[in-house]
Amino acid sequence: MAGDETRIPRDPADDATADAAAARREFATRRTGASLRHVGSFSLDPATTPGNVEHFIGAAQVPIGLAGPLLVDGEHAKGEFYVPMATTEGTLVASYNRGMKLVRAAGGVKTTVVDDGMQRAPAFIFDDARAARAFGEWLDVHIEEIRAAAEATTSVGRLERIERYPAGPAVFTRFVFTTGDAAGQNMTGKATAAACAWIHESYPGAAIRRFYLESNMATDKKHSQVNTLRTRGKRVVAEVMLPSALVESQMRTTTREMFGARLISNLGGLMAGSVNNGAHSANAIAAIFIATGQDVANVAESQSALVYGELRENGDYTYSITIPSLIVATYGGGTGLATQRECLELLDCYGPGKVRKLAEIIAATVLCGELSLGAAVVANEWVSSHDRLGRNRP
Amino acid sequence: MAGDETRIPRDPADDATADAAAARREFATRRTGASLRHVGSFSLDPATTPGNVEHFIGAAQVPIGLAGPLLVDGEHAKGEFYVPMATTEGTLVASYNRGMKLVRAAGGVKTTVVDDGMQRAPAFIFDDARAARAFGEWLDVHIEEIRAAAEATTSVGRLERIERYPAGPAVFTRFVFTTGDAAGQNMTGKATAAACAWIHESYPGAAIRRFYLESNMATDKKHSQVNTLRTRGKRVVAEVMLPSALVESQMRTTTREMFGARLISNLGGLMAGSVNNGAHSANAIAAIFIATGQDVANVAESQSALVYGELRENGDYTYSITIPSLIVATYGGGTGLATQRECLELLDCYGPGKVRKLAEIIAATVLCGELSLGAAVVANEWVSSHDRLGRNRP
Amino acid sequence: MAGDETRIPRDPADDATADAAAARREFATRRTGASLRHVGSFSLDPATTPGNVEHFIGAAQVPIGLAGPLLVDGEHAKGEFYVPMATTEGTLVASYNRGMKLVRAAGGVKTTVVDDGMQRAPAFIFDDARAARAFGEWLDVHIEEIRAAAEATTSVGRLERIERYPAGPAVFTRFVFTTGDAAGQNMTGKATAAACAWIHESYPGAAIRRFYLESNMATDKKHSQVNTLRTRGKRVVAEVMLPSALVESQMRTTTREMFGARLISNLGGLMAGSVNNGAHSANAIAAIFIATGQDVANVAESQSALVYGELRENGDYTYSITIPSLIVATYGGGTGLATQRECLELLDCYGPGKVRKLAEIIAATVLCGELSLGAAVVANEWVSSHDRLGRNRP
Amino acid sequence: MAGDETRIPRDPADDATADAAAARREFATRRTGASLRHVGSFSLDPATTPGNVEHFIGAAQVPIGLAGPLLVDGEHAKGEFYVPMATTEGTLVASYNRGMKLVRAAGGVKTTVVDDGMQRAPAFIFDDARAARAFGEWLDVHIEEIRAAAEATTSVGRLERIERYPAGPAVFTRFVFTTGDAAGQNMTGKATAAACAWIHESYPGAAIRRFYLESNMATDKKHSQVNTLRTRGKRVVAEVMLPSALVESQMRTTTREMFGARLISNLGGLMAGSVNNGAHSANAIAAIFIATGQDVANVAESQSALVYGELRENGDYTYSITIPSLIVATYGGGTGLATQRECLELLDCYGPGKVRKLAEIIAATVLCGELSLGAAVVANEWVSSHDRLGRNRP
């Protein structure tokens, strides 16, 4: 297709340079008439982009607002943090900030990573279910050899287990790894491929009729019940105890009102078929993911959330949110890019050994936003039934 | 909290200025030691950010890669497009580009917006189910007055209908609007609040015991079955017909192999509890959302996808993907910011009258990525069973 | 296959006679050695079984226990009822009976049918999504003619609306009917077939490439979210207000403890992916369905349940359960058989005009069982932590 | 409440006698006016009913039709079977019979039990997530002692593993057992209670704040995704290979047409939110459950089904259905009652050592019904587009 005028310019020799980017912008402008002046105004070094993007033309500038201080009582994140949130949605940062203020007055958010795992999900298809079952049993017997083959590809990843979900003539599996401070999708992909290569070479039983390295059970970049149940990435819990007096003074509502709204959200979510009985975890997750160089497509699965609250007899509201599939990294991927690294450093979360700290900060931020929006919905009722409507509805 | 050294500086008089942003960066650096030099290197005009972000400190620079030409046979998008994808995940742009090349050779992607709607979901709680039922019937009778109250707040939004989902002593509703070229969450929030104010004032029946403007049935920024069924944003279908010879020449596999993998993905997704039997729609959606100033948190609900393919007897593969809840805008929100507007203009999608065009381009891009990754998974089998493993497994 | 010794005897002329049944039992005994003496001991008249069963050999004797009095404050069921429950599971009747006693002391169960509908779900497949969309719009325009065609087949059924769920090149529909006192699956099947015949004859647009009278969106005899949302059969709410003192005196626990357990059940159900946050609605539904001649396979969809409770400040517990898809009939199907009719008459629910009464009684019974088992689980905690374990755990 | 005229007569001394049943029927007739003559006509011995029912008044007579011969190529069920189906739904037996004829001509159904497990799901709630996590880890360390405590209560049940699903301050668990030939709900309940008693006595860590023996994650008598994924009861696969010529001669359609309908059912089920992409598994399951004394309420969870089919290039259709949570028993529960035992004996499935055989027969029957109804839906299209409508639509 040489000489094709529709083809985006690419010179492999110097593809990741300012000049190559400029050439592509010129090409795009020529083809579409659109100016790309701002897209071309970036401070990041194009030489750092291979591995992050192809056909680089410049950078999106996404406004960052700073929320905080966020007081975290984590095992990895301890103390006050200022959270960079990249967003274009007005009131988002203000709302999280409001929640952070409330939570700080309540003594901070307790955060705990309770599980950790990253998966690839190959499927093996046989002539019939019996052959599939025999294969599944063989996997159990040979787990150590499979593990060795997988872990030979990585200095960090560890194959924890192989889950099996048999159906028809197939064995759907989930290869579950821990992946250190990387999100680990690539690491586990490579390790699982190596494990499957060993399996193909070594399996003495009936022919593996078909094989797919991925079978839609991972479920990478998709929401699913299996990941809510079995964890993908970090499973993080954020908890707070809200005294009723504090809610009344800061949020213009009561813990009893907030808890009442929670019961309706539980029921609405159940009917709606949403595996998220919270309000808007995706807002915090997307904003921090963009700011800190995470894979933003993982918002799809990371948004799942399980809210659990108890209203104590004295009016105290113990509130928790569990994010069962928070996929984060502090090295690799986009974490080393210019602004992304700065934002991670702002949280002291750049580099190895920091990933659970980042997970805790994100979960704590999510919790603040849930309380802020939750209280606003309830107080809005107050406003509408009392002030605006000018009469008292119980 | 005046004089609180932990407080992020804010001077309402000049909050959205380069100076205010610099002051906040200095504050953050002082508190954390992190440099924010790159965060402070932006070309966007801070004066444009109110309405998009609070506590503005600068911008995240997210690398943009250009994919294309994407050949679209839409009702609104017609011809070739170059798609800006903001991402930090290597191979993403290359993979979509590969799919675009395939699809272009196949004659392009046909795209169709088949439904359109935006919701707010208030709940009304009564003393018992009978009072709730009576209220629901009253809503039907007074739909015109409710519509008038809602539409008085907006020149664009139209209240299409009020859906009811009764449970216990509550009526959960979904107020369904069309919202022109805006995504419409704010527009519908405001209109629904006005409608509910009218309802509160006018309802003569038993007391509305409690009311919430949102009840977790919208389900804004959350995945749900109800939105997959009933649409939120645009419901867009992208379709292509792939001749087998083309797949063989370009993708190193066959349509029959691809279709075989599809059957396994269908089954895996069903078991996993994922309302997405495709591969990775979120990758395209997140990347284009970031580039074009969409609300990225909506990836949570927009990622839902329904793939349907048929293998014809001659080997042709007719393939479609339906995105039932694609939430997009071409004005409002982040669409007017510096790089975001440029990227929309690159697609000739900036401003009123363009939103279905943008929806079609995104859906077409999603389709290309599905085919590219889908073929890679299948060809990987080929590689593993033939080249790498050195022997022939059927 | 005449003379095939493996073939079950069938003489069309007298197929539904005691002799024909005896001949088949003899055949079965000859082939398997099993005695069918009890199966052959029935009082029902075989002549009544055509329309209910083919290859009739006798009857299963399912023990019936009587629970009650159940005090119902319904719109159709008013007063005390004795509920026949056909089951083989020990403690089931006793447990429901215990709940009925509690509820009677609390003033009875309030029951309300809040929605009603029966569906068939044809799918129409076209060459592409645009042709499908055009067809969908045509359905709207011609709804009156379609209704006329459908209703020509039935004196009872009414076509309320046609819901559309477009995907790919297909239009999935749900034809929603009211069906009087019949469950209505056959009535709606016939009416929908007639409507579709009219559609096939009348549609002037692009060819309907394929058509299926059922597309798995009804979802007859299967659990689904769509039926939970949109109702299939009767949507019934049962409600009660439990004073705390009553629970303490009768159930050895407190309303606060029961409510605490409810919160955990909500969370467990959400994680488990169950559209039933209650305990065991299927126990009552299956037992009454068997006793009263309902289609027992409909337990699959009727078991869905939505529990909602509030703990008032004074300790009162307002509790409701909504059964969104309760499929019941008081004529047709098995309702006229010997014991089934007697059991319906026991409830004064036999024949036309009684179906909502039956629905209310079933929902009220379900509620009683929820409270009984729910209290037992909580009290069991009490037992285990106090009596059995001999120490006090908070 | 002695002397309460509303109270159902109960004399503990001779509760399970014909006289006691008659007294209760008289009472019911006196209170309601309904005759219970047929209910009182039973051949089962009332003395056998304790353990199966309380307040026994008689028996429901559910017509049984005989379907077969069903040719099964199982590991436990081998050869031809005549299947007793207790139902009141006309055409059900005929339809299954039709499928059995087809399948027999195709060489029979291959059946395989690929997994087996029964659960109870206690939840343990702590002061915070860290205490919950520590408890979870302690469970792992002490699994042998917990197993010993559990298994001390049963000669048959074996505790395979304890799965953990942490959320908020709670650890939701699933105690997974094998239970021999019993369904095992009671066995596992008792064993889990004993295990939890040991846990309560032995756990040295932070106080278990609250505990529930069941937390809605089992999910007994409810449909759920977790049981589809992780098996409850038997996970059984039934498979068949259908030659195209056979389908054409017997079913008036083609394998290609049937496969085409399958693709639409897959998509419809995905949109509907049904974890059953088949047609009507509940029909066979309910009918055989009633006939053979199974716990019919388990239709709720047993109805889940995963259909997977491949159309080979020569037109052969390999078809499988996986029932992931088939809950069956061949001893205990209702299996020893008069007609129930006879029906089990008819299948040579009564008593210990037979439970997998029964599971295989049920799965094989389900498959036959799927093919019969599936073909009917497709042929109906044929009928409607060709015969009835008098013209040819492609």
- 3-state DSSP assignment of residue C245: helix
CA–CA min distance B258, chain A (Å): 11
Interface contact C353, partner B, CB < 8 A? no
**Residues A345, A228 contacting (CB under 8 angstroms):** no
Instruction: From the candidates B11, B89, B137, B345, give the one annotated as an active-site residue.
Output: B89
**Three-state helix/strand/coil letters over chain A:** CCCCCCCCCCCHHHCCCHHHHHHHHHHHHHHHCCCCCCCCCCCCCHHHCCCCCCCEEEEEEEEEEEEEEEEEECCCCEEEEEEEEECCCCCHHHHHHHHHHHHHHCCCEEEEEEEEEEEECCEEECCCHHHHHHHHHHHHHCHHHHHHHHHCCCCCCEEEEEEEEEECCEEEEEEEEECCCCCCHHHHHHHHHHHHHHHHHHCCCCCCCEEECCCCCCCCCCCCHHHHHHCCEEEEEEEEEECHHHHHHHHCCCHHHHHHHHHHHHHHHHHHCCCECCCCHHHHHHHHHHHHCCCHHHHHHHCCEEEEEEECCCCCEEEEEEEEEECCCCCCCCCCCHHHHHHHHHCCCCCCCCHHHHHHHHHHHHHHHHHHHHHHHHHHHHHHHHHHCCCCCC
At residue A13, does pLDDT exceed 80? no
A132 close contact with D: CB closer than 8 A? yes
Is the pLDDT at A227 greater than 80? The verdict is: yes
Task: Report the C-alpha gap between A175 and A188 in whole angstroms.
Answer: 8
Q: B277: which chain A residues are within 8 Å (Cβ-Cβ)?
A: 216
Distance from CA of C367 to the nearest CA of A (A): 17
Q: What 3-state class would DSSP assign to D81?
A: strand
Residue at token pair 């403890």: C257
Q: In whole angstroms, what is the distance from residue A211 CA to residue A234 CA? A: 28
Residue with tokens 């359109």: B116
Question: C33: Cβ–Cβ under 8 A, 6 or more apart, which residues?
Answer: D345
Nearest to D308 among B263, B269, B310 (CB): B263
Which CATH number applies to B122-212: 3.10.20.30, 3.30.70.420, 3.40.50.300, 3.40.50.620?
3.30.70.420
Instruction: Give A 58-97 residues with CB within 8 A of chain C.
Output: none
Give the whole-angstrom CA distance, residue B343 versus residue B66. 10
The closest of C119, C80, C62 to C286, measured between CA atoms, is C62
Tell whether D312 is within 8 A of chain B (Cβ).
no
For helices A355-382 and A92-105, angle between their N-to-C axes, nearest 10 degrees: 100
SS3 state of residue D325 = strand
Among candidate residues D196, D228, D221, the one with its CA nearest the CA of residue D211? D196
Q: Is C281 on the interface with D (CB under 8 A)?
A: yes
Work out the burial of residue B358: count CB atoms within 10 Å of its CB; fewer than 13 is exposed, 13-18 middle, 19 or more buried. Answer: buried
Closest-CA residue of A relative to D217 is A229
Encode pLDDT of B228-253 as tens digits: 999 999 999 999 999 999 999 999 99
Residue B12 contacts A, CB cutoff 8 Å = no
Given B41, B279, B381, which is nearest A43 (Cβ)?
A: B41
Percentage of chain A modeled with pLDDT above 90: 87
Q: Just list the catalytic residues of D.
A: 89, 295, 386
With b for 16 or more beta-carbon neighbours within 10 A and e for fewer, the B190-211 pattern comes to ebbbbbbbbbbeebeeeebbbb
* Candidates C137, C161, C172, C320, partner chain B, best to mutate (most B CBs within 10 A): C320
Looking at beta carbons, which residues of chain C come within 8 Å of D222? 269, 274, 276, 278, 280-282, 303
Q: Average pLDDT, stretch B127-133?
A: 98
| Interface ipTM above 0.90 | yes
A348 is catalytic: no
CA neighbours closer than 13 Å in the CB half-sphere of residue C267: 33
- Record: contact C308-A267, CB cut-off 8 A: yes
Domain with CATH 3.90.770.10 in chain A: 64-115+231-389
CB contact under 8 A, D270 and B306: yes
Size of interface C-D (CB pairs under 8 A): 491
Tell me the average pLDDT across B81-100.
96
A386 is catalytic: yes
CB contact residues (below 8 A), chain A span 182-241, against chain D = 225-226, 229, 235, 237, 239
Give the C-alpha separation, B148 to B141, whole Å. Answer: 13
Contact C200, C208 (CB under 8 A): yes
> Dihedral sign, CA of A13, A14, A15, A21?
negative
Flag whether residue B54 sits within 8 Å of chain A, measured between CB atoms. yes
Cα end-to-end span (Å), chain C: 72
Show which residues of C are catalytic.
Answer: 89, 295, 386
Three-state SS at B73: strand
Q: Which residue type does C371 have?
A: L
pLDDT of residue C4: 65
Residue D11 burial by CB count (10 A; 0-12/13-18/19+): exposed, middle or buried?
A: exposed
**C304-342 pLDDT tens trace:** 999 999 999 999 999 999 999 999 999 999 999 999 999
The CA–CA distances, whole Å, from B44 to A338, B52, B342 equal 17, 12, 12
Q: Which two tokens stand for residue B36?
A: 């924010």
- E-assigned strands of chain C? 56-73, 78-86, 109-120, 123-125, 158-167, 170-178, 210-212, 233-242, 306-311, 317-326
Q: Please give, rounded to a whole number of angstroms, the shortest distance from the CA of D249 to a CA of chain C.
A: 15
Residue entry with tokens 């409608």: B195
What is the C-alpha to C-alpha distance for residues A315 and A48, in angstroms, rounded to an integer?
A: 53
Pick from A75, A169, A322: which is nearest to D239 by CB? A169
* Domain A64-115+231-389 fold: 3.90.770
Task: Please tell me which residue of chain C has the smallest CA distance to B367.
Answer: C168
- Give B15's pLDDT tier (boundaries 50, 70, 90): confident
pLDDT at position A1, please? Answer: 38
Beta-bridge mates of residue A240: A319
The per-residue b/e assignment along B10-33, b for 16 or more CB within 10 angstroms, e otherwise, is: eeeeebbbeebbbbbbebbbebbe
Q: Are D315 and D254 in contact (CB under 8 A)?
A: yes
The reported pLDDT for the residue numbered A12 is: 56
Neighbours of A184 (CB within 10 A): 27
Q: Which amino acid would we find at residue A183?
A: A
The CA distance from A202 to A190, in Å, is 18
What's the pLDDT score for residue D14? 64
C275 touches chain A (CB under 8 A): yes
- How far away is chain D from the Cα of C31, in angstroms, using its nearest Cα? 9
At A121 the pLDDT is 97
Residues of D in contact with C220 (CB under 8 A): 280
CA distance C30 to D389: 47
Mean pLDDT in chain A? 93
| D167 closest CB neighbour out of A129, A166, A322 | A322
Contact B272 A219 (CB under 8 A): yes
Q: Which residues of A75-84 are buried (b: 16+ CB within 10 A; e: fewer)?
A: ebbeebbbbb
Question: Is the Cβ–Cβ distance between D246 and D105 less than 8 Å?
Answer: yes
Q: Which of A43, A92, A216 sits opposite B277 (nearest CB)?
A: A216
- Which of B263, B275, B309 is facing D270, going by the closest CB pair? B275
Cβ contacts (< 8 Å) between D228 and chain B: which residues? 271, 273
Minimum-distance CB partner of D6 among C53, C69, C282: C69
Residue among B181, B295, B301, B316 flagged as catalytic? B295
Query: What integer is the mean pLDDT of B104-123?
Result: 97
* Domain boundaries for CATH 3.30.70.420 within chain A: 122-212
Q: Which residues of chain D have pLDDT under 50?
A: 1-3, 381-394
Chain D residues whose beta carbon lies within 8 Å of the beta carbon of residue C8: 66-68, 82, 97
List the catalytic residue out of A14, A80, A89, A127.
Answer: A89
Each residue's pLDDT, cut to its tens digit, for chain C (394 residues) gives 345 678 888 755 567 889 999 999 999 999 999 999 999 999 999 999 888 999 999 999 999 999 999 999 999 999 999 999 999 999 999 999 999 999 999 999 999 999 999 999 999 999 999 999 999 999 999 999 999 999 999 999 999 999 999 999 999 999 999 998 888 988 999 999 999 999 999 999 878 999 999 999 999 999 999 999 999 999 999 999 999 999 999 999 999 999 999 999 999 999 999 999 999 999 999 999 999 999 999 999 999 999 999 999 999 999 999 999 999 999 999 999 999 999 999 999 999 999 999 999 999 999 999 999 999 999 864 333 333 332 322 2
Mean pLDDT of chain B: 93
Q: Say if the Cβ atoms of C239 and B129 lie within 8 Å.
A: yes
Q: Are B110 and C128 in contact (CB under 8 A)?
A: yes
- Please give the backbone phi and psi of residue A110, each rounded to the nearest 5 degrees, phi first: -90, 130
| Distance (Å, whole) CA C42 – CA C87 | 18
Q: What is the DSSP string of B261-296?
A: HHHHHHHHHHHHT-SB-SS-HHHHHHHHHHHHT--G
pLDDT of B384 over the 80 cut: no
Count helices and strands in chain C by DSSP H and E runs = 12, 10
Instruction: Read off φ and ψ for residue A154, nearest 5 degrees.
Output: -150, 140
pLDDT of amino acid C11: 59
Size of interface B-C (CB pairs under 8 A): 91
Find the angle CA(D33)-CA(D37)-CA(D38) to the nearest 5 degrees.
Answer: 125
Q: Which of C8, C29, C296, C303 to mutate to test the interface with D (most CBs of D within 10 A)?
A: C296
Helix (H) or strand (E) holding B158: strand B158-167
Average pLDDT rounded to a whole number, residues A329-350: 97
| pLDDT of res. C12 | 57
Long-range contacts of C19-26, Cβ-Cβ distance < 8 Å, separation of 24 or more: C20/C46, C20/C56, C21/C46, C21/C56, C21/C57, C21/C58, C24/C55, C24/C56, C24/C57, C24/D66, C25/C57, C25/C58
Q: Are strands C158-167 and C123-125 parallel, antiparallel or unpaired?
A: unpaired
**Alpha helices per DSSP H over C111-220:** 129-141, 143-151, 185-202
Q: Is D12 on the interface with C (CB under 8 A)?
A: no
Q: Do A237 and D129 touch (CB under 8 A)?
A: yes
Q: Say which residue the tokens 């013209």 belong to.
A: D391
pLDDT for res A14? 64
Min distance A18 CA to chain D CA atoms (Å): 46
Return the structure tokens found at D34. Answer: 């309904």
Q: How far is A336 from chain B (nearest CA, A)?
A: 10
Predicted model pTM: 0.96
